[in-house]
Amino acid sequence: MRLNTRCRLSGFLPPGKHLTADTGYKIWDHMLTPFPEAEALQDSRKRLYNYLHPKTRIVVECAFGRLKDRFRILLGKLEQKSAGHVCKVVIGFVVLHNLFLLVQDEMEILGVGLLIGDAPVSVAEDPRENEHVICHDRQARYYSNILMMRD
């Protein structure tokens, strides 16, 4: 993901909101990624965060899997040129999917539960990475504290 794409993407998120991403992404202030394994082994909070991280992502991945099964065009590359237009297309498919559910559409969704994951993306070095590492650590402590309070 190029720097200008990343800046535009972060502009869509309200303050205090984040995207979850896998380890193929660099640490940016708007993305929550797992800690490196070596770090997580030394800190129980980071280990808990890494354990729970994929469990939060799986819900979203399953939802996109269902959309891709129903609207097969989503299996390919969308031709929209801006992130805003891609968001509108995806929202349109979500609305259609929900309308089909409301009218009890009988169309079978193939491969329900099948996840179609994207391969990790390599990203160029970002000179501001150190400040994002600090932000990443702070976010992990915050979410770890919330999760520990629930137990």
Average pLDDT of adjacent 10-residue blocks, the chain of 151 residues: 49 75 72 87 91 83 86 83 80 87 69 41 45 60 59 45
Distances in Å between the Cα of 61 and the Cα atoms of 50, 67, 70, 113, 129 are 17, 10, 14, 9, 27
Q: Can you give the pLDDT at residue 44? A: 92
The b/e string for 102-120 (b: 16+ C-beta within 10 A; e otherwise) is eeeeeeebeeeeeeeeeee
Q: Which residue has the tokens 């991280």?
A: 53
Which residues share a beta bridge with 31? 19
Element (DSSP H or E) covering residue 100: helix 83-102
Q: Can you give the pLDDT at residue 45? A: 92
